Every structure is written in structure tokens, then in C-alpha cells.
Amino acid sequence: RKEVEQDPGPFNVPEGATVAFNCTYSNSASQSFFWYRQDCRKEPKLLMSVYSSGNEDGRFTAQLNRASQYISLLIRDSKLSDSATYLCVVNMADSWGKLQFGAGTQVVVTP
């Protein structure tokens, strides 16, 4: 079983719509969770950290469910520029917090 699992998609979303997707993780001791965005042929960039209470950053909302070991990302009012691959990232709970990356969920926003 992979340590971080994501639905690869693609999620095809009309512009202005809402899209949400999850990721599951296997290590119950993980303490830090992130969503990264990766554009085609570019490096991943930190989108947002995910906190236990859930958090929002503009049109993006992240949630953490420790009991079921999943995190989610919701994008409201999708823009064409939101088209990207979204990587779920979880720390490995080792002594120095190495991160484990999911393979990504592709989102395609269409006009």
C-alpha cells in the first residue's frame, strides 16, 4: 500500500464551478500535511499547509480528518489558471520530518 494515495483524475471542471478531492495517508503518526501545486513541466510549489481545524486561503479550503486519515482540498469558483496537478504531501513522522509525496490529482478547468 502506498503511503500517500490520490485519485489521479483528471477532474474536468467548468470555469466557476467547485471541485473537491481527497488524499489518504497510511502513517497515523504524521503531523504535517500540505497541498502542493505542480504545473506541467515545472517544479512543485507550496499551495497551503493543512491544519487540524481546517483552513482557507481565498478560494481554496483544506480539511484534515485524522480519524479516517485523509485530507481534502476544495477549490471554489474555479479559474482556468487553477488547471494543474495537486500533490498531497504528508510528513513521515521521522526525526526530521521528511515528506512523502502523493502522485497527484490532475485538475483541468474548461471555459
Amino acid at 15: E
Give least dist CB 67 to other proteins, A: 20
Contacts of 111 (CB under 8 A, 6+ apart): 15, 80
- How many angstroms separate the CA atoms of 105 and 88, rounded? 8
DSSP strand pairing (105-110 vs 55-57): unpaired
- How many angstroms separate the CA atoms of 16 and 10, rounded? 17
* Contact region with other proteins (CB under 8 A), list: 15-23, 55-63, 66-74, 100-108: 100-108
Question: Whose Cβ is closer to other proteins: residue 70's or residue 76's?
Answer: 70
10 binds other proteins (CB under 8 A): no
Question: Whose Cβ is closer to other proteins: residue 76's or residue 101's?
Answer: 101
Given the rule CB under 8 A, which residues bind other proteins?
Answer: 8, 31-32, 34, 36, 41-46, 49, 87, 89, 91, 95-99, 101-104
